Amino acid sequence: MTTINMATQSALAVARDLRAVMQGKVVLAGENAYHHVQRIWNGAVDHRPAVFALCETVADVQASVRIARAHNLPLSARGGGHDWAGRALRHGGLVIDLTCMRHVEVDAAAKIATVAGGATGTDVSAAVTPHGLAAVTGNVGAVGMAGFLLAGGYGPLTTRFGLAVDNLLGAELVLADGRIVWADASQNRDLFWAILGGGGNFGVVTSMRIRLHPVSEILAGIILFPWSEARSVLRGYGEMMASAPDELSMLAGALPGPDGSPVIFLGPIWSGRPEERERVIARLQSLGAPILTQIAPMTYSNLLAIYDAQVINGRHYTLQTRWLADLTPEIISAIAEAGAARTSNLSFIALHHFHGAGTRVAPDATAFGMRRKHFMIEIVAAWEPSSKDEAAVHRQWVSDLSSVLAPLALPGGYANFLTRDDHEQIGSAYGNNARRLSALKRQFDPDNIFSSTTPLPV
């Protein structure tokens, strides 16, 4: 029997066994529903899993892990489905799909939310906003909370309340042997430490308890400047961030303008006292001659909707990342030149500044060990589906800027934006926590069942 036939037989056996015990649906390659369930955010990913288990309960997840292992079928887990690297879609394997498990339960008095494994930032925000509360989510509401949080989690409220991992109180996981466990600061403490930045390498997270914060209204929006002012605006942005209070978070970088040409943008989020708003915005506007200012008080849910509009499902994407200690003149020049040389009018560059609450966490307190002030840059090529030759041009634009920044950057990079091909960065991405993480990986997943996730150093 050929390898292909053996894989097909394993997939059929897995589907048969799952259908006998699962509450959710099972979809095989070739069935009518397959094309729909195969979709993820990044349309450039061409992985073709053999089976999807559309889980509705923890028992469904448990059965999926055990049955896949019994038939030697590789597996992956999909949470919210906002996947850029294709980790959620195990080519030729089983996808444990949690997108039906999106329930969010709010204990407003305790300021805690219990979040199912497939919930997105939008799901969480919609549940907690009516209570005058907010969670640390990503800037894009469509991003799944589990995948975002487990790798660290930079977001609009990170400067005020820490990374998403700093707000995780506990999690329920299905381990590689199919057991269901709870991990928090008092139970399974080593496992809890590992998932606080170690990604999905240790099990499938089916539920999380996260800390909420009393934020009923923020001042947020976007300011656009002409690209001719890119250097001066980025320089001013870097100077502001160097002394920014916890209450001020801000994205910056390059976005497509109305005609597709690049504009420099600032995306401030002020969660502090309302009486200080005008001073903050006035200082930002003074960094250049804005061509557009749309800043207003809004709910946190409104903010997520702004950035959701910039990341269209189904487009083709690729990205790379670096950690930068400062925005030096060399780095600013590299960004300005790359923004002007974009190969697609849809591509963008985003800078996140890490300061405030997250820097006051000890580097070894969580698996996410980067706790100094820094900028995290996303270099994102985006294009409509096209030929492979054209795609290669866009990918090269990303690679070129990343290569220019490499000797100017800090070691490592944000693991959620790295792939297994980023060998140079992976080794430093976890700092001094790498050895402990690797040991815990061998303890909890000795057969590397959960290998289709954020990369760990080998």
d(CA 342, CA 209): 41
Q: What is the pTM of this model?
A: 0.95
d(CA 279, CA 391): 44
The fold of 104-214 is: 3.30.465
Question: Which residue, among 283, 230, 228, 232, has the nearest Cα to 254 in the 3D structure?
Answer: 230
Strands 25-28 and 51-54: antiparallel
**How does residue 277 score in pLDDT terms, banded at 50, 70 and 90?**
confident
Strands 51-54 and 180-184: unpaired
Place of tokens 């008095």: 109
pLDDT digit string, tens, across residues 322-343: 999 999 999 999 999 999 999 9
- pLDDT at position 168 is 98
Contacts of residue 209, defined as CB under 8 A and 6 or more positions apart, other chains included, come to 112, 113, 114, 115, 168, 169, 170, 171, 184
Averaged confidence pLDDT in the chain: 95
The fold of 218-427 is: Vanillyl-alcohol Oxidase; Chain A, domain 3 (3.40.462)
Residue 454 has pLDDT above 70, yes or no: yes
Tokens of residue 32, six digits: 């009518």
Question: Which residue, among 195, 144, 182, 175, has the nearest Cα to 41 in the 3D structure?
Answer: 144
d(CA 44, CA 47): 9
pLDDT digit string, tens, across residues 149-164: 999 999 999 999 999 9
Contacts of residue 123, defined as CB under 8 A and 6 or more positions apart, other chains included, come to 102, 104, 115, 145
- pLDDT at position 6 is 58
Domain boundaries, the chain: 3-97, 104-214, 218-427
Q: Give how far the C-alpha of residue 263 lies from the chain's centroid of Cα atoms, to the nearest Å.
A: 24
- pLDDT at position 388 is 76
Residue 115 φ/ψ, nearest 5 degrees? -120, 125
Contacts of residue 186, defined as CB under 8 A and 6 or more positions apart, other chains included, come to none
Tokens of residue 385, six digits: 């589906």
Query: DSSP secondary structure string, 228-267?
Result: GGHHHHHHHHHHHHHT--TTEEEEEEEEE-TTSSEEEEEE
- pLDDT at position 1 is 44
CATH of domain 3-97: 3.30.43.10
Question: What average pLDDT does the segment 346-371 reach?
Answer: 97
Question: What average pLDDT does the segment 41-51 reach?
Answer: 95
Residue 2 has pLDDT above 70, yes or no: no
Residue 108 has pLDDT above 90, yes or no: yes
